[in-house]
Amino acid sequence: MGAYILRRLLLIIPTLIGIMAINFAVIQFAPGGPVERIIAQVTGTDVGATDRISGGGNDFAGSGTNQGGGSGGDDLNSKYRGAQGLDPEFIKELEKQFGFDKPPLERFLTMLGNYATFDFGDSYFRDIKVLDLILEKMPVSISLGLWMTLISYLVSIPLGIRKAVSDGSSFDVWTSAVIIVGYAIPGFLFAVLLVVLFAGGSFLDWFPLRGLVSDNFEDLSLFEKIVDYFWHLALPLISMALAAFATTTLLTKNSFLDEIRKQYVVTARAKGLTERQVLYGHVFRNAMLIIIAGFPGAFIGAFFGGSLLIETIFSLDGLGLLSFESVINRDYAVIFATLYIFSLMGLIVSLISDITYTLIDPRIDFESREV
């Protein structure tokens, strides 16, 4: 197992480089950029993300011939929409400030070297280091992702087992109907409904609508802090977990049904074991493998990817909202830093998932596999 873990850890390096290289290459052709954003602000045309579009897409990630310097004033200004009439020296200073005066390959290699030591530099448009900015937003995303995943699994796995045991019963039918309806409702739409009903929208005003904690959080006792924390999280978590309940519950049910119908279960029953012993002593370990396989994706998706609209609706300033704003503002320092961190955590969680396989079922031997 040790050799397998070592191989997987070593594979993280080329995988990360590949992810960063592909996204960096895509950015080479992406319209708009931080230089154009500054130009739009200077000229008074910065009215929205749709207007910050480069005619040739050669601002941050343009071709090496366009970014390498040495062009005349007219050629320099023609690279950026709205730059006509501006001092070419001003444009050169902007390029130097953002590091775009260097060829793309040099910028990419420099970025990889810095990221290897977790040096993500400063945000282009915020007076703060990127790492500090990410750490500042992390509590919201940790709260949403961790608790949503935990609650989803704690509810969905027992419910899925119960549905598998009572397959075809009235309980199985009506819970399936509820789950399917819940899955069909988009999380953000359900969030709006909860706001209208319970957060002072039009009816009840039971839950807060802003922030992770109350303004007087520091003045509260420990018990009151815990209550206040979950009071603020209640509606966002319900909104995010709605679809996750359906996916995990049905996956658990189908996995258990497949195992229950296998020959070893019939043999266990023939030996006189009780249904509980058969279910949790034999079936559970095998059926849970597929659930564990889906955990990394579920956790990373909940932790980083699925909270943008929820954060916006409930005014939670987390990583989802930060990533969206960074894309809109063309803050590439934040974009690539979050991409690097998210990818690294996803790869590590995937490795932890494989290790967990062996803890649940010792028959699985990754040591003999070729990665």
Q: What is the pLDDT of residue 355?
A: 77
Q: How far apart are CA 261 and CA 200, in angstroms?
A: 50
Q: What is the pLDDT of residue 21?
A: 92
Q: Taking residues 307-330, report their average pLDDT.
A: 81
Q: Outline which parts of the chain fall under CATH 1.10.3720.10.
A: 131-368
pTM of the prediction?
0.71
CATH homologous superfamily of 131-368: MetI-like (1.10.3720.10)
Instruction: Encode pLDDT of 196-209 as tens digits.
Output: 888 876 778 888 87
> Which of 184-198, 209-223, 227-241, 283-297 is predicted least confidently?
283-297
Taking the alpha carbons at both ends of the chain, their separation in whole angstroms is 12
Q: Taking residues 211-237, report their average pLDDT.
A: 87
